[in-house]
Amino acid sequence: MNYLESAANLKSLIEKANIQLLASNEAKLQEPNKALLRTNFGKEVSLPMEEFTNSFVQKILSEYESEAIVISDFVATRENDKELHYFLYKGYHKLFNKGLVYYQLVNKATYEPIGELQFSNIEDNIFYSVEEPKDEESSCNAVETKENTVKNPSIAFLIGHMNEERLLFDINRLIFETANNVQKHKGRNFTFHIQVSKFGGTVKREFIKQLDRLKTDIDKYIHSTYPNSQFILDLDELK
């Protein structure tokens, strides 16, 4: 399964869940909780939730062979002496060890949306058992480039590992988490230079092919899904 394609699919599933929940609660709160599940065969199934609990989600997942799920809840709270009402969405995928949290502010009287669906944070994926390479995580450091400005931040990630499988996994994960985290700053356009290093030897030809495919996937799935994030991959072959 394609990692970055799955990332785009998960964000799309959250957006669809938001559309469905806003429609089912038009003018009146009738369905505060809902789940939207994507099966292993790409079919999307909308399910009512009796309760917004981990045990209920696990019950749903035990009944379906799924690759992703989005669960939702209606929240009424007070922050800085101001009442806030919103639909909360948590999305999880079997490829990602992190889940995505989004929210949609609504009018407390009409439940009409206020503004757009907003990214909140990334949290641990507690519902899917994610397989990943057993080696320790890749070395990764972030530095600002000389092109960096407030409006157009430019960051370089220096990432490397001896194990090519682990390195490729961590590059995918870096792109996924970074693209989501900067959604809090939609008024800024980010450029991320990912400098890839294979430690302790020359890279294999297959790794170069995989990196080229990853560049294609970035253009196809990430740049269209996260338009304020530009990723540039470069390979630094150490001798």
**CA dist., res. 86 & res. 106, Å (int):** 5
Whether the pLDDT of residue 150 is over 70: the answer is yes
Burial of 237 (0-12, 13-18, 19+ CB in 10 A): exposed
Across the range 150-158, mean pLDDT stands at: 96
Give SS3 for 160. Answer: strand
**CA dist., res. 56 & res. 53, Å (int):** 5
At 201 the pLDDT is: 81
Q: Percentage of residues in the chain with pLDDT exceeding 90?
A: 82
pLDDT digits (tens, 9 = 90+) for 159-204: 999 999 999 999 999 999 999 999 989 889 999 999 999 998 888 9
pLDDT digits (tens, 9 = 90+) for 56-83: 999 999 999 999 999 999 999 988 888 9
Written as six digits, the tokens of 211 are 């990196």
**CA dist., res. 230 & res. 217, Å (int):** 12
- What are residue 33's phi and psi, to 5 degrees? -125, 140
Written as six digits, the tokens of 193 are 């230079």
pLDDT digits (tens, 9 = 90+) for 100-141: 999 999 998 899 999 999 999 999 999 999 888 989 999 999
